[in-house]
Amino acid sequence: MTTPNENTDVQTKKIPNDQLELYFDRFTKRFLQTESTNRIDVEVLAPEWGDQFEAERVRVIGITYEPKKNTLDFALENADHRVEGVKEVWTAEDADGFVKSISVVRADGTRDIATINRRAT
């Protein structure tokens, strides 16, 4: 499912789980391995904890999905952030395919929101 945003060239879409591995592999190779100035904020929204920032303005090195473990991993400059029990993944992309944000819904209802800030080199 794709939803165009009326105000910009950003499109929001749900990525089918069977396509997550290839989707994030392509994104990492195309943008994250070639653009070394991208920064990410990762926020976890959980009913029992409230809203927590796991990372703020940290360099993102790569994003991978492991289908056998059903985990989405964010490789960060000084740590990693792992999302287990992935139920749904939504992304917002620029016209050139750069992923500006990722919303992950876990099986327990927790949400992980990652915002990637593209910086000029």
Using one digit for the tens of pLDDT, what is the confidence trace for 5-48? 444 578 899 999 999 999 999 999 999 988 877 899 999 998 78
What are 23-27's contacts with CB under 8 Å, separation 24+? 23/65, 24/63, 24/64, 24/65, 24/72, 25/64, 27/63, 27/97, 27/99
Question: How many percent of the chain have pLDDT more than 90?
Answer: 75
Choice between 8 and 68, residue whose per-residue pLDDT is larger? 68
Are the C-beta atoms of residues 89 and 72 closer than 8 Å to each other?
yes
Instruction: Quote the pTM value.
Output: 0.88
- Vertex 40, ends 36 and 43: CA angle to 5°? 165
State residue 120's pLDDT score. 61
